[in-house]
């Protein structure tokens, strides 16, 4: 069951949190702000990935070679 329907487009979902996040695609709201630069994002997970640019963290490693990266 997917009780949440977007009033702007055809998007529907089962979770209110997902709908709240989806609505930001229409409003442009980006409440997740980087404390080190002017970057902001609608999703906290995107901000977490962005923060790796500041920390240098590269948690993903290729299983075939030595390549490592910050995002998949």
Residues 36 and 54 in one domain: yes
Residues 42 and 71 in one domain: yes
pLDDT tops 90 at residue 71: no
Residues 18 and 35 in one domain: no
Residues 58 and 36 in one domain: yes
Can you say whether residue 40 is alpha, beta or left, with left for phi > 0 and alpha for psi between -120 and 50 degrees? beta
pLDDT value of position 44: 93
Domain residue limits at 39: 31-72
The domain total for the chain is 2
Mean residue pLDDT across the chain: 94
Residues 21 and 37 in one domain: no
Q: Are 30 and 21 in contact (CB under 8 A)?
A: no
Q: What is the pTM of this model?
A: 0.72
**Tens of pLDDT, residues 20-51:** 999 999 999 999 999 999 999 999 999 999 99
pLDDT tops 90 at residue 72: no
């Amino acid at each position: 069951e997917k009780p949440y329907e977007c009033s702007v487009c055809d998007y529907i979902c089962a979770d209110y949190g997902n709908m709240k996040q989806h609505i930001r695609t229409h409003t442009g709201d980006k409440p997740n702000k980087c404390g080190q630069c002017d970057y902001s994002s609608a999703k906290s997970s995107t901000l977490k990935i962005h923060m790796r640019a500041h920390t240098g963290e590269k948690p993903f490693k290729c299983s075939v070679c030595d390549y490592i990266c910050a995002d998949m």
